[in-house]
Structure 1
Amino acid sequence: MVGVGHSRGTNVAEGLPRTGERTAVPRQVSSDPRWGLDATAQVLLVEDDPGDELMVREELADSGLPMDVTWCKSLAEARAFLRASKNAVCVLLDLHLPDTHGLSAVRLVRDASPDAAVVVLTGLAENEAGLAAVAEGAQDFLSKDGLNAEELSRAVRYALQRKQVERSSAELQASRLLAQENARLERGLLPTPLLRGDRCQVASRYSPGRDHALLGGDFFDVVESEDGTVHAVIGDVSGHGAAEAALGVCLRVAWRAAVLSGCVGPAQVRLLEEILEAERAEDYIFATLTILRLSRDHSRLTVIRAGHPGLLVRTSQGIELFEPPVGPALGLVPGGAHWPETELPAHDISAVTLFTDGLFEGVVGPDRRLGEEGLLAVARKHMDLHGRPFVDAVVEDVAAQSTFHGGLADDVAVLHLATDGRS
């Protein structure tokens, strides 16, 4: 037997592998298209027999495959190394180790590093064990008897490539599931307006923030009741993620049900707060919203705000930011909040634009956000546009100004109601 201190080996029998000892091939290759590798391969040899370790290492050296090799003599050492390693690793794994035996070694390696590619090293008469190891999750198996450089390099290369394909497939599947979840949440958060005529035209837009793959908790809805009153809501659940989005869906559906059942005004807001308190995952979750009602003859506009930003109102005089009295956000003062209801003449109002705070909180310069006054200036710049073109122009202008930190960081929801017949 060759001693464990052989100059070509890396003996890490005591403790974790030491960085200075993790080298077996005296060359560095940043990329090698012959092998389909983008960088030097990281190989972990888990083998308790020093003679087999030397044989495998020499065949690897003869293969010409660019790699760094680390040797561990037990599964415990290998698992500790894998947990600490940040690089993609191909594990050459002997199934007969001092601290484990058989297929459990494959499972334990995969538990320690799911992204590691595993090639099992077997004896001459252990083909069935090798096949079982592949069924357990290994990428390949090789017999140590008669092992040569060509088949060993091919096994390492193919194992790394197969593992990459597995990861890509898993990421693709996760992406598909995420897209399906997004579509499901979008149907709940951003429904089709329920309008009974063409007296009011609706344009809307939802843009997820740059850091959020899923829709957030922003939601809106429009319903025209039987008496011709147009009801609209826009809201924003604090936080981001599936739970917050689901709570937004819950609040939107509850709001629509309340409208259709005749529950309006402050009583409607109290109902939504009760639902939020019952459904939220944590006590610190809250929601802001604005609710408005436009009378059938468009003569009166009634607004209730619960911690939400103001709204843009277009008249013959131009566009103004309207900020009626506001009550607290839902969930901040459970059972003790008051939400004032503001009514104003609407004969001269041709459009109303509701929005969430993501539309004006973008960073447009050092320590400077766009702000609501900045948003008003953007809206006035595009006031020659109406309906969806107006909404798109405002959102895209705001996004273009918010590039200081890479674009809009928060989700943006916009709901535009045109009462003059312009869509």
Structure 2
Amino acid sequence: MAHASEYGRQPRVLLVEDDPQDAFIVEELLADSGLSVRLEWVRSVDEARRALTALRPECVLLDLGLPDAHEFSALSAVIEEAGDAAVVVLTGLADEQAGMAALTAGAQDYLVKGRVEPEWLGRTLRYAMQRKQAEQAAVALHAERMRAKENERLERGLLPTPLLHSMPIEVASRYRASRGSATPGPGGAALRGRASATLGGDFFDVVESDDKVVHAVIGDVCGHGPDEAALGVCLRIAWRALVLSGVTGAALLRQLERLLEAERPGTEIFVTMSTLVLEPDQRTVRIWRAGHPGMLLHDGDRVKLAEPRHTPALGLPVEVDWHEEVLELPKGGGITLYTDGLFERRLPGAPARWLGEEGMLELARRYAHLDGERFLDALIADVESVTAPDAPADDLAVVHLRWKDPA
């Protein structure tokens, strides 16, 4: 931030000085300093406010003794409007202590009139701009670290460790945020996306109740951002608590919709969801589907698309009676649940073409012989490979459930 080459142009310096003689001296000193800048001169705090908005300078040279300011009011006003600009204050010979106080109040440096040499002035402005840039970088880094920690907390809430006790079921899961790199997740699951990613409200959970019934859910809060992610965490935790309390099916969805309507930031927010019950006979799956995409049904080395009847999503202004559907699971078979981020992918070329669930199914069939972990990795890699490079990718969650082979 200190010199012209970092901006591709001369840095702009705003001088706020009511005395024309002092302003002339500053101009002459800058001309001899070796620092190439574009100097703009204003005479009052009000003029400085307007100039800061219009010019967006890299540095402000501020006289503390302006006639329309009292004590440090000029400094406060300039810092408030300065944005990215460094602020260097000018004090009189009798006010050097004011310069020290200005540093505490937020200025990057101070100079005493009558004691400034050209080289010193240039070096002071250059270092002040560098110091301001370093401060901003530190603030941005701290904010990024805080966002990373918040993302980690939200991901842990959205993507829990399955709560299984005795039932022989294998669970594999993957999550990818809108952007980001792979990171290890809870329970060994690979989570995709992290600090720089845009979290959405995709969530899932798997629990076993006391009657040896396995329950699973996958859901998607419309929209992206911390509010949607936090709402997804809220619904996921509520789902687990209700299931472990014995609430299932349509009654479960009604309670979750009530919670959604109470917690969502706006009435336009809705949630798609599928909640499943895998019976101990290992062949019967009961499904309630609220506006959510279908699922993949695995039978040995084959996979097909299963789309049980669904009713509207949670949170829509319509009367809904969610229906139960029963799915027969092949012996040793499995189910893959997913959110729309897995198949709503734009393919390369024009006009725009989309992968869709049928296109995703064709990719899935290539890897139907693989176990759950490798199946998910291969499928997601293929989906991403066929996505247009410049196309935005929604966040996605995928869960694979399969009864273990007794052998």
Q: Give the TM-score, by structure 1 length.
A: 0.87
Counterparts of 1:317 and 1:341, CA distance in 2 = 28
Contact 1:313 1:349 in 2 (8 A): no
Q: What does the per-residue CA deviation read over 1:348-391, in whole Å, with 9 as the maximum and x for residues that have no partner?
A: 46221111111111211332221111111121122232211211
1:75 is aligned to 45
**Counterpart selection for 1:186 from 117, 142, 155:** 155
The residue number in structure 1 matching 2:373 is 388
Residue 112 of structure 2 is matched in structure 1 by 143
Deviates more, 1:74-83 or 1:302-311: 74-83
> What does residue 328 of structure 2 align with?
345
2:209 is matched with 225
**Matched residue type, 2:5:** S
Q: Aligned partner of 2:143: which letter?
A: A
CA distance in 1 between counterparts of 2:301 and 2:119 reads: 81
Once the two structures are superposed, residues 299-349 of structure 1 have per-residue CA deviations (whole angstroms, 9 ceiling, x without a partner) of: 101111101110111113611111110110001035x21211110211346
**Per-residue CA distance 1:246-297 (angstroms, 9 max, x = gap):** 1111111111011101111111111111111111111111100011111112
Aligned to 1:364: 347
Matched, 1:303 2:272: no
SS in 2 for 1:354: strand
Aligned partner of 1:137: which letter? G
Specify the SS of the correspondent of 1:248.
Answer: helix
| 8 A Cα contact 2:301 2:368, kept in partner | no
Structure 1 position 421, deviation (Å): 4.4
1:319-338 mapped onto 2 (5 Å cutoff):
319-333=303-317, 336-338=319-321
**Per-residue deviation, residues 30-78 of structure 1 (Å, max 9, x unmatched):** 527xxxx775222111111111111111111111112222111222222
Amino acid at match of 1:31: S
AA matched with 1:62: D
Identity %: 51
Structure 2 residue aligned with 1:59: 29
1:189 to 1:253, Cα distance in 2 relative to 1, 3 A: same
Find out whether 1:400 has 2:385 as its counterpart: yes
The answer to whether the 8 Å contact 1:200/1:421 transfers is no
Structure 1 residue 406, shift from structure 2 partner: 4.3
Say if 1:103 and 1:132, in contact at 8 Å, map to a contact too: no
* Corresponding position of 1:315: 299
TM-score, normalised with respect to structure 2: 0.90
- Kindly provide the CA deviation profile for residues 210-249 of structure 1, in whole angstroms up to 9, marking residues without a partner as x: 3973421111100011222111000011111111111111
Indicate the SS of the match to 2:35: coil
2:244 paired with 1:270: no
Q: Does 1:213 align with 2:197?
A: yes
Once the two structures are TM-superposed, the CA of residue 298 in structure 1 deviates from its matched residue by 0.7
Partners of 2:34 and 2:119 within 8 A in 1: no
* Distance in 2 separating the partners of 1:256 and 1:245: 17
Residue of 282, 286, 303 corresponding to 2:266:
282
Q: Which residue matches 1:12?
A: none
Determine helix, strand or coil for the equivalent of 1:100: coil
Q: Which whole-Å CA distance do the structure 2 matches of 1:260 and 1:328 have between them?
A: 25
Once superposed, which parts of structure 1, at least 4 consecutive aligned residues long, lie more than 3 Å away? 211-214
Report the secondary structure of 2:275's partner residue: strand
**Separation in 1 of the partners of 2:55 and 2:346?**
37
Residue aligned with 1:194, SS: coil
Number of residue pairs aligned between Structure 1 and Structure 2: 387
**Aligned-residue CA RMSD in angstroms?**
1.9
Task: Find the partner of 1:250 among 222, 234, 248.
Answer: 234
Aligned to 1:415: 399
Which of 349-358 and 165-174 deviates more? 349-358
For residues 58 and 403 of structure 1, the distance between their equivalents in structure 2, rounded to whole angstroms, comes to 57
User: How far apart are 1:404 and its partner, in Å?
Assistant: 3.6
